[in-house]
A and B are shown apart, each in its own frame.
Chain A
């Protein structure tokens, strides 16, 4: 139904484009045209499609909730909770679609009939309104074509609006992220105190699972303490940075200061391949090769190492992050003006002394920025941890034990079927928003540091 309507509108728009162009050629025989003939076509097509499609979109967004209120009106006197109402509505919809397989009460049957009726009314109303709008806007546009009004300007203004709306897309995504996270997180914090979440030291959401019924509030208090996850996240990121910073920074220095053109041309893209490999591949590598390797070495030294250790995950993550640091720090050090180097050489300093005492300090803000970006990347990394570092949230500082992170827990909670309204599911969104805030902060700081640095030398 909807598809037919949209196709119809689009076909009509195409027809009106050709019609408008033809009309322009007719006008041309008696009057001077105000624009190229195709603009007459664009003008008609835009007036045809835009209003109808906008109304159609608005209608599609609001119709379900309006129908829902109408249906659930009959149930207001039964004192039902929101979830029960939702369940009833789902049942009604399934019954109307003929896919319901429970026992059918009279009341439900009535509602389903009402639902079908309402849907029918809504559909015919939608078609009627859209047809009316099409006729109205087309006749309006046709009149101004006939009057030979200016055609190019309105079309260009319309196009500009289309461009503007597209640029709002990115903002919409951000708003979508913030609201979808906040919405569920707020409901989570109604069930669990925010204090217990931020400062609690036990993370064990599985224990709140109770079939049919509310979980014990005492249990809830102790199950959602996120400290082990925050600690695990930063611990693994720390291990990753221990690998990535020395290797990345030294490679960056070598590439920018020592390497000849040939080496630089080939080594840099090859190192960057490391950042292009999908993280799930690293995860597999960490779980299958590095984990057992670490375990073997640990056992040989008489240490107790679990096969899924924070060290394995962190080290592999560090390898993944090397190019972020090496490429960015190479870029910022290359951007340091040559006269600083020349000044240092003129004073008799060796190359390494120049790097350590002049170039590195000058490039420091940019390097710090690149490191912060890398940390934000490490904090948000998911698959390596899920596959290589176990899923139990231990509060530990021992790199040989398994720990879990915010991202890994989100995956653990949401893998498989989710039930919305369950505090366990909502806790994933609460974790998501903390992750979002942390990475956003890191990113904002990093970007502003880099920006300041750029201004200094440009």
Chain B
């Protein structure tokens, strides 16, 4: 072999190795995007599952509460004036502070601190007249300082927590009066303008209701349609048209469905705005083609021998389909449905258009109450300027991803556990 040929061969082998490396790098890039992404979300979000409390002492002084009765009833406690008691509880942290500066202390706890003082007494009526320790929700700024997300070394005028508040915070922290506990209220309270109080309960319920409505509308229609197209439809132009239609519908951008919901469900049928009912119907129109396609594929996978056996035993076409083909195709259909619902779960744009982006600070009890949904909540919070919301968004994303992972696992389990293998 002469050297020219040798060189050529070497070149070709090098090209081969290079090409393989390109492929490896591409896959590595794709995987590392995913890794970076997950890392970012988790490292930003995990702290939202901790809630910061400030511990102080409150004196439930009858005179300050304006309670006259000797043994006050529940109503008396309910109607008492808690302003002074709560105010004293906070200002007692630094008795030397002049009165006109007291806002600095009050601002260290959430604006609902008065209600928290009240709740503690309502829960323990025997605290009346006593001095007891109390946990108050720290404001989001203090919360962020405590979690170390807030730089302390920038100039005071650019900081939302001033030097005095930091000093008080350090003092409390040294005394062990800053508590960090699992943030239950993140899961149980509705949205709020204040980051420290905001929770995902309202949007979580909104999501659950939307998904249920979506399931109730899309699943029956899609399965029936799939049965017709796969088992009964004659081969003609109209059937072809329906098929092309379904395939194209699956690729229509989700925002167009939002326009449909707005233009038809809200404007023509006058359904209530901002509700999971409308959201669910809009999403069901979107998932319809996905489920139809999955259901048809799993009907198609049922071997013809099953049908032939049933027909040979004298069953009608309808009986063959309903008693044999459809039950056998159900695992595939169900897992396709769950995957379709998981897609619908992450949709944001159509829900924004039908008004599910409104600020809702109540927990919806029915599908016709105004609500947000988890992805919309992510959008709403990420538009807020407060630093406390950044970790809330990440935490909300973690909840949403957990939800999605659960649904996909369920789809996998349904498929592998119940599907019959024909071979």
Contact = CB atoms under 8 A, between A and B. Distances in A.
Contacts of B382: 283-284, 287-288, 387
Nearest to A273: B34
A45 B29 CA distance: 61
A10 B310 CA distance: 32
Contacts of B262: 414, 418
A63 interface: no
B253 interface: yes
A407 B350 CA distance: 11
Given A167-B229, A414-B353, A444 B379 contact: no
Interface string A277-312: 111110111011100000000000000000000000
Given A180-B259, A267-B27, A280-B378, A373 B251 contact: yes
A267 B260 CA distance: 38
A254 B252 contact: no
B27 A254 contact: yes
Interface in B225-245: 225, 227-229, 232-233, 241-242, 245
Q: Is the interface of B mostly helix, strand, loop or mixed?
A: helix
A432 B259 contact: yes
Nearest to B354: A414
A255 B393 CA distance: 35
A411 B353 contact: yes
B253 A379 contact: yes
A181 B253 contact: no
Given A379-B253, A387-B379, A170 B30 contact: no
Contacts of B241: 171
B221 A166 contact: yes
A162 B253 contact: no
Interface in A347-378: 350-353, 355-356, 373, 376-377
B272 interface: no
B253 A170 contact: no
A386 B350 CA distance: 13
- Most chain B beta-carbon neighbours within 10 Å: one of A174, A258, A271: A174
A380 B255 contact: yes
B179 to A, nearest CB: 29
B242 A382 contact: no
Interface stretch (A139-147, A193-201, A203-211, A244-252): A244-252
Interface in B183-238: 220-222, 224-225, 227-229, 232-233
Nearest to A436: B256
Contacts of A181: 256, 259-260, 263
A279 B342 CA distance: 13
Contact of A382 (B18, B249, B255, B263): B255
A288 B27 contact: no
Nearest to B316: A156
Given A319-B33, A387-B382, A380 B26 contact: no
A180 to B, nearest CB: 3
Interface size class of B (residues with CB under 8 A): 35 or more
B352 interface: yes
A176 interface: yes
Nearest to A410: B255
Q: Is the interface of A mostly helix, strand, loop or mixed?
A: helix
Given A254-B24, A410-B353, A280 B348 contact: yes
A356 B20 CA distance: 12
Contact of B256 (A160, A319, A432): A432
Contact of B252 (A180, A270, A281, A440): A440
B292 interface: yes
A285 B40 contact: yes
A383 B225 contact: no
Given A246-B26, A350-B15, A170 B260 contact: no
A440 B254 CA distance: 13
Nearest to A163: B228
Interface in B5-45: 12-13, 15-16, 18-20, 22-27, 29-31, 33-34, 37, 40-41
B330 interface: no
Given A181-B256, A254-B27, A322-B30, A382 B348 contact: yes
A376 B249 CA distance: 13
Nearest to B44: A288
Contacts of B19: 351-352, 355-356
- Most chain B beta-carbon neighbours within 10 Å: one of A163, A171, A255: A163
Contacts of B249: 170, 173-174
Contacts of A377: 251
- Most chain B beta-carbon neighbours within 10 Å: one of A250, A258, A287: A250
Nearest to B37: A285
B267 interface: yes
Nearest to B375: A280
A435 interface: yes
Interface string B44-75: 00000000000000000000000000000000
A168 B225 CA distance: 8
A62 interface: no
Interface stretch (B101-109, B157-165, B170-178, B397-405): B397-405
B246 A170 contact: yes
Contact of B16 (A254, A278, A351, A373): A351
A443 B248 CA distance: 7
A439 interface: yes
B294 interface: no
Given A163-B224, A180-B263, A279-B348, A440 B248 contact: yes
B247 interface: yes
Contact of A180 (B255, B260, B348): B260
Interface string A388-416: 00000000000000000001001100111
27 contacts: A160-B228, A162-B224, A170-B245, A170-B288, A171-B242, A173-B288, A176-B260, A180-B259, A247-B26, A247-B29, A254-B24, A254-B26, A277-B37, A277-B346, A277-B401, A280-B375, A281-B375, A287-B382, A319-B30, A350-B13, A351-B16, A382-B348, A410-B353, A414-B262, A429-B259, A439-B251, A440-B248
Given A181-B260, A444-B248, 4 more contacts: A248-B26, A251-B30, A351-B16, A443-B251
Interface of A: 152, 156, 159-160, 162-164, 166-171, 173-174, 176-177, 180-181, 183-184, 246-251, 253-255, 258, 267, 270-271, 273-274, 276-281, 283-285, 287-289, 319, 322-323, 326, 350-353, 355-356, 373, 376-377, 379-383, 386-387, 407, 410-411, 414-418, 420, 428-429, 432, 435-436, 439-440, 443-444, 447
